[in-house]
């Protein structure tokens, strides 16, 4: 008769359960991302973002469009209470983020990337810094917005 120790039986049952839980957590994160992606307008991108910096910037635009103060504040990489800055961002850009937004990643991937967000409608831009935050997740340095108005240039003057 073959006997299996209680420790081996417990280990044999625990390992698949732990792997299943880990895979479910990954699937939920991926599903959340896909849901966000399908529920929002595409982000137009120029430059060379990393996968992580692009995801962080997309989440910023999505949280703005949704008016999600806590979700936007959670993307802050600097620590402290970012909700006041998140509220200011949503007040400034929430409505514009529901339209077309483009992100210019100004430098090649490094430890951080400068990104200029261009919002249509009010024709404003905002420069942000995407960078790694706690627990190897990417976010942004969330400070009060300093919008810059973009002047639309008219047709060039003609000379005769």
pLDDT in tens, the chain (160 residues): 555 555 555 544 445 544 444 444 555 666 777 777 677 788 999 999 988 999 999 999 999 999 999 999 999 998 889 999 999 999 999 999 999 999 999 877 677 889 999 998 766 899 999 999 877 889 999 988 877 776 544 333 444 3
Q: What is the pTM of this model?
A: 0.72
Q: What pLDDT is recorded for position 85?
A: 94
SS3 for the chain, per residue? CCCCCHHHHHHHHHHHHHHHHHHHHHHHHHHHHHHHHHHCCCEEEEECCCHHHHHHHHHHHHHHHHCCHHHHHCCECCCCCCHHHHHHHHHHHCCHHHCCEEEEECCCCCCCEEEEEEECCCCEEEEEEEEECHHHCEEECCCCCCCEECCCCCCCCCCC
Q: What pLDDT is recorded for position 19?
A: 46
Q: What pLDDT is recorded for position 13?
A: 47
Q: What pLDDT is recorded for position 1?
A: 52
Q: What pLDDT is recorded for position 91?
A: 93
Rounded to 5 degrees, φ, ψ at 2 are -95, 130
| Fold of domain 40-141 | Nuclear Transport Factor 2; Chain: A, (3.10.450)
């Amino acid at each position: 008769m073959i006997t299996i120790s209680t420790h081996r039986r417990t280990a044999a049952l625990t390992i698949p359960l732990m792997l299943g839980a880990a895979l479910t957590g990954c699937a939920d994160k991926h599903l959340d991302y896909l849901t966000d992606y399908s529920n929002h307008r595409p982000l137009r991108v120029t430059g060379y973002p990393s996968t992580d910096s692009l995801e962080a910037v997309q989440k910023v635009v999505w949280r703005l469009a949704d008016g999600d103060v806590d979700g936007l504040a959670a993307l802050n990489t600097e620590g402290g209470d970012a909700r006041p800055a998140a509220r200011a961002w949503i007040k400034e850009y929430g409505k514009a983020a529901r339209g077309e937004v483009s992100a210019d990643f100004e430098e090649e991937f490094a430890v951080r990337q400068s990104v200029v967000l261009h919002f249509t409608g009010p024709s404003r831009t905002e420069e942000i810094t995407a960078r790694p935050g706690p627990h190897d997740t990417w976010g942004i340095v969330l400070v009060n917005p300093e919008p810059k108005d973009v002047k639309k240039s008219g047709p060039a003057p003609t000379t005769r």
